[in-house]
């Protein structure tokens, strides 16, 4: 795994919270179709894998938001890229904090 990428999509030009959630849900559904193990949190969704695949998903997320009804989209992305050594996984970073979630 070369990259860990956090994506936050903020739809613009949609009316009300329900519409924001609907558009964001469409983006998350797309992301999870590409990365079934994506980690969805209240503020961002994290994907891990091949850098180029991650970047294609980030680019497409904007199109998905617009196709779902947003006039525009503000997308905030955090990228950690390490082609030679790899990256820490979500599980390695926060798994210990969620050990009781499965129960």
Instruction: Enter the tokens of residue 36.
Output: 């079934």
Per DSSP, the residues of 29-48 read HHHHHH-TT-EE-SS-EEEE
| Domain, as residue range, for 78 | 3-90
> Average pLDDT of the chain?
94
Q: Is residue 44 in some structural domain?
A: yes
Predicted confidence (pLDDT) per residue in 73-89, tens digit: 999 999 999 998 888 88
Q: How confident is the model at residue 95 (pLDDT cuts 50, 70, 90)?
A: confident
> The CATH number of the domain where 65 resides is what?
3.30.70.930
Number of domains in the chain: 1
Q: Is residue 97 part of a domain?
A: no
Query: Is residue 25 included in any domain, yes or no?
Result: yes
What CA–CA distance (Å, rounded) separates 24 from 18?
10
Residue 100 belongs to some domain of the structure: no
Residue 72 included in any domain: yes
Q: Is 57 part of a structural domain of the chain? A: yes
The pTM for the full model equals: 0.89
> Residue 10 domain-assigned?
yes
Residue 33 resides in a domain: yes
**Burial code of 48-85, b = ≥16 C-beta within 10 A, e = fewer?**
bbebeebeebbeebbebbeebebeebebeeeeeeeeee
């Amino acid at each position: 795994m070369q990259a860990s990428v956090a994506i936050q999509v903020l739809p613009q030009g949609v009316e009300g919270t329900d519409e924001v959630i609907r558009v964001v849900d469409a983006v998350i559904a797309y992301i999870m179709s590409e990365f079934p193990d994506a980690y969805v949190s209240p503020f961002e969704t994290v994907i891990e894998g091949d850098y180029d695949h991650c970047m294609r998903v980030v680019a497409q997320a904007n199109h998905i938001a617009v196709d779902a009804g947003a006039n525009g989209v503000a997308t905030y992305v955090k990228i950690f890229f390490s082609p030679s050594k790899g990256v820490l996984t979500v599980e390695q970073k926060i798994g210990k904090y969620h050990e009781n979630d499965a129960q």
